[in-house]
Amino acid sequence: MFEYLKGRITDLTPTYAVVEAGEIGYHIHISLHTYTRIKDTGEVLLYIHHVIREDAHLLFGFSDRTERELFRQLVSVSGIGANTARLILSSMSPEDLRQTIVTENVALLQGIKGIGTKTAQRVIVDLRDKVGKIPENGEILQIQGNSVLEESLSALVTLGFPRARVRKVVEKIVAGDPSKAVEEIVKEALKVL
């Protein structure tokens, strides 16, 4: 239904962006990969995947067509919903995900919250022949947020982790290296959680 949305970023976190286009603010769910690419811009173009459910219409945005295509392929796998697909794309870059699937690295996929052995195997079986066919492509950029700690906490809680556990992990990561960016903290925390 929607191909892309182009506009001004009015709110940005590691899990969603609000983009104003035509005087309407669109709440768009994004992956950590997309956040990294758009965080320093005011204007953005996001490729959209529209999910229509009985109780909601959801927009998922991606900085390039390649990531959107990987997302669409992930949600085509039985047992993988839109939020799980976004979590997978937040845990690894599209290129790393391709490599993981092509090399049939079940253990790496199992390390992602919500992905068990059978689901990881199903992803590999269903997608290993398809991921090589996705054309290389890319673009886009975006904006700011609150404190690094709070943004990291917010992102991980939004992805479904309990706040108390996340806070301990994030505080430990920040204490180890206070100069880390939000996306680095979230990626490191995803490995621990």
pLDDT at 133: 54
Q: Is there a single domain that holds both residue 69 and residue 114?
A: yes
pLDDT at 191: 87
The mean pLDDT value for 2-16 works out to 94
DSSP class of residue 104 equals T
Could you please report the per-residue DSSP string of 120-181?
HHHHHHHHTTTGGGSPP---------S-HHHHHHHHHHHTT--HHHHHHHHHHHHHH-TT--
pLDDT at residue 1 is higher than 80: no
Range of the domain at 167: 148-192
Q: What backbone torsions phi and psi does residue 181 show, to the nearest 5 degrees?
A: -80, 165
Q: Is there a single domain that holds both residue 152 and residue 177?
A: yes
Q: Is there a single domain that holds both residue 73 and residue 52?
A: no
The answer to whether 62 and 30 are in contact (CB under 8 A) is: yes
Q: What is the CA radius of gyration of the chain?
A: 16
Q: Considering the domain boundaries, does residue 87 fall inside one?
A: yes
> For residue 76, what are the CA distances in angstroms to 4, 101, 121?
21, 15, 14
H or E stretch including 108?
helix 106-110
Q: Considering the domain boundaries, does residue 8 fall inside one?
A: yes
What's the structural domain count of the chain? Answer: 3
- pLDDT tens readout for residues 73-108: 999 999 899 999 999 999 998 988 998 998 888 999
pTM listed for this prediction = 0.70
Last residue of a domain, one of 100, 133, 166: 133
Least Cα distance to 186 among 70, 80, 92, 69 occurs for 92
Residue 105 CA to residue 111 CA, distance in Å, equals 11
What CATH number corresponds to the domain at position 104?
Answer: 1.10.150.20
- pLDDT tens readout for residues 24-56: 999 999 999 999 999 988 899 999 999 999 999
Q: How far is CA 113 from the centre of its chain?
A: 13
Q: Considering the domain boundaries, does residue 156 fall inside one?
A: yes
The mean pLDDT value for 165-176 works out to 86
Tokens of 3: 């191909």
Q: Write down the residue that tokens 């009015």 correspond to.
A: 10
Q: Considering the domain boundaries, does residue 38 fall inside one?
A: yes
Last residue of a domain, one of 45, 62, 79: 62
Last residue of a domain, one of 14, 37, 62: 62
Q: Is there a single domain that holds both residue 71 and residue 127?
A: yes
Q: Considering the domain boundaries, does residue 143 fall inside one?
A: no
Q: Is there a single domain that holds both residue 129 and residue 77?
A: yes
Q: Is there a single domain that holds both residue 76 and residue 55?
A: no
- pLDDT tens readout for residues 105-149: 899 998 888 889 999 999 999 998 888 655 444 333 232 333 788
> For residue 42, what are the CA distances in angstroms to 35, 39, 67, 74, 119?
13, 8, 21, 29, 38
